[in-house]
Amino acid sequence: MARAQTSLSSTTATKKRKSTGDIDEGRAKQAKQPRRTLDTFFARQVPVSAAPDEETGKIEHVSLNDEQMRVLQMVVDEEKNVFFTGSAGTGKSLLLRAIIAALRKKHAKKPEVISVTASTGMAASNIGGVTIHSWGAVTPGMHDIEKLISFIKTCRPAHKRWKDTKVLIIDEVSMVDGNLW
């Protein structure tokens, strides 16, 4: 329900912006800001990496809810293998951006240990990453794992990425071939 309202208001804002200019542009900007409740006002703020359509370099700070914060801790502090999912609009993308920001901060001296990928180009561009296939020289449809590994070894940049990476993020992982992962 909340998600439906969010997309409805942003669609309306876009239409209005075309016809009436500055005032509605301001409203559209306001609508994009997350709402702050009393609880979130006192909660710990964490940085999130900027969404690709936002100004570059801008670091936004948000208050994660308890569940989001727990997942962030499991990934960043406890270094666990985590699969998180949820219904539309439950805050997965925002959490992922917070995780990426926290990992980049933690591994600031060795940025190559973090790889940000997704199963599709669209999902990858939303988090400032690349497709898992181009990142890892993974040939779609190649089901023979031994062959695939031999192929990856011939592709030096991809092979290096596989070896250097300590944290591999895959957004929309459910769309990745189940034989591979």
Ligand X SMILES: Nc1ncnc2c1ncn2[C@@H]1O[C@H](COP(=O)(O)OP(=O)(O)OP(=O)(O)O)[C@@H](O)[C@H]1O
Q: Provide the mask over 88-127, with x wherever binding to ligand X is found by CB under 6 A and - wherever it is not.
A: xxxxxxx---------------------------------
Residues 6+ positions from 109 with CB-CB distance below 8 Å = none
Q: Which stretch binds ligand X (CB under 6 A): 16-24, 83-91, 116-124, 144-152?
A: 83-91
Q: Would you tell me how many other CB atoms lie within 10 Å of the CB of residue 123?
A: 19
Q: In what order do the strands lie in the sheet with 130-131?
A: 130-131, 114-118, 167-171
The nearer residue to ligand X, 127 or 132, going by C-beta atoms, is 127
The nearer residue to ligand X, 1 or 108, going by C-beta atoms, is 1
Q: Which stretch binds ligand X (CB under 6 A): 15-23, 64-72, 141-149, 173-181?
A: 64-72
Decide: is 160 part of the binding site for ligand X (CB under 6 A).
no
Main-chain dihedrals φ then ψ at residue 142, nearest 5 degrees: -85, 100
The nearer residue to ligand X, 21 or 34, going by C-beta atoms, is 34
Helix (H, G, I), strand (E, B) or coil at 116: strand
Angle between helices 145-154 and 156-164 (to 10 degrees): 110
Residue 105: in which H helix or E strand, if any? helix 92-106
The nearer residue to ligand X, 65 or 165, going by C-beta atoms, is 65
Inter-residue contact 10 to 31 (CB < 8 Å): yes
Q: Provide the mask over 44-63, with x wherever binding to ligand X is found by CB under 6 A and - wherever it is not.
A: ------------------xx
* Footprint of ligand X (CB under 6 A): 3, 6, 34, 40, 62-65, 68, 86, 88-94
